[in-house]
Amino acid sequence: MRKIWIDTDPGFDDLVTLVVASRAEALELTGIGVVAGNAPLVRTLHNTLTIADAFEIHAPIYAGCDRALLRSNTTAEDVLGAGAFGTIGAKLPEPTRIISSGHAVLQLIETVLENPNQITLIAIGPLTNIALAMRLEPKIAGLFQEIILMGGSTDRGNQTAAAEFNFYADPEAASIVFQSGAKITMFGLNLTRQVLLTENHLARVRESKAVHALALADMTAHYLQIRANKIMPLHDPVTVVYLLRPDLFTFDPAYVQIETSGIHSLGASICEFRVPKKASANAFVATKADGEAVMELILGALTQ
């Protein structure tokens, strides 16, 4: 069984990621660190506790950083709604779970040191917690089994023309992580745009009668409706699907740098694929996915 730690900022696709991970028999969810990102930390914490209660996720939940390393906070509430949970806040009960004692950064360091080369980190929000952990204890970078992150893009962004949200929200943190020497697998927008959620998928979730299936489908439908083609990429869950079915993805080695000073390109991920001729690779970047097969695995978890 593979031990994983998830660093998150829910967000509806974070919710789906946590559910898929917690229901995978091949994975042991050892902890959940929460960071400010899609919404301020007080909201992402509340959302995480709500998810854990509703979907019976028993891993400890730790509060992490409430702001980026050097910059003022950026949220996605303009897209995801107040608190970054859209309409689901009214669909799920108030949580009874409480936050575990200890800071997410310190707990992550402790967990990795106690389990060297056994912890796979899945980071699906801004990388503030991870970067701070690496600054406080630099040797943990080499003690992760793997760092799998959703962030960046090999082409266009979504927060700006050049930058994806997670990297834009804390570009200095992303830069620290990519320069750490850790084994990194990156799933950017170029990849997640190949994994498309449709109204037909939501209909199957509703028909399943699974726990909170209606709430989950209604919440996601909210985002489909604001898209002109009624189709949307499902970003974060691909990180967990990769652990379960790596054969569904194609990767290329690359040297990834994060722009931290550009006027028009702040937070952009610059991917040099001409390795080793031009640079030594510091990440494996996902480039292709069997999108429908990925969706089938996600739907299987949601309709249990």
Q: Which residues are catalytic?
A: 235
Using alpha carbons, list the distances in angstroms from residue 50 to 27, 40, 153, 167, 182: 21, 16, 30, 26, 32
Encoded amino acid at 4, one letter: I
* Distance of alpha carbon 41 from alpha carbon 249, whole angstroms: 32
- The tokens for 25 are 């028999």
147 forms bridges with which residues in the sheet? Answer: 121, 184
In this structure, what token pair is assigned to residue 302? 């949601």
d(CA 64, CA 45): 9
Copy the structure tokens of residue 253.
Answer: 């080695």
Q: Is the peptide bond before 142 cis (omega within 30 degrees of 0)?
A: no
Distance CA 21, CA 58 (A): 12
Q: Are strands 184-187 and 144-150 parallel, antiparallel or unpaired?
A: parallel
